[in-house]
Amino acid sequence: MSLLNWQQDDAVLTVQVAGDVADIVDITVPESLRRQGVATHLLQQAMAELVQQSVKELFLEVRTSNTPAIGLYQKLGAIHVGHRPTYYTNPTEDADVYKITL
């Protein structure tokens, strides 16, 4: 198992890889960089590199209220595959689970 990081300016994407499956651990984009394609660029870069490493599936959890992120993931081919009640804290919120087939 390994952790991989991609960075652009102050935005960071961290992915955990185990065999041919990867999970987005965290994606952080400062508010000043949002809606500028930074997250899209990081995710596309990561997905291309993961394909080179023979990763077949990329999973992620996202707050159910985070509609901008959900839209981004869906634009990149993510499909809804599950739901995790009370997954997040501060504030408590459910998570939806998505999968991107690479």
Active site residues: 61, 73
| Contact status, residue 83 vs residue 97, Cβ threshold 8 Å | yes
d(CA 39, CA 62): 14
DSSP character string of 33-57 = GTTTTHHHHHHHHHHHHHHHTT--E
What's the token pair of residue 6? 């991609």
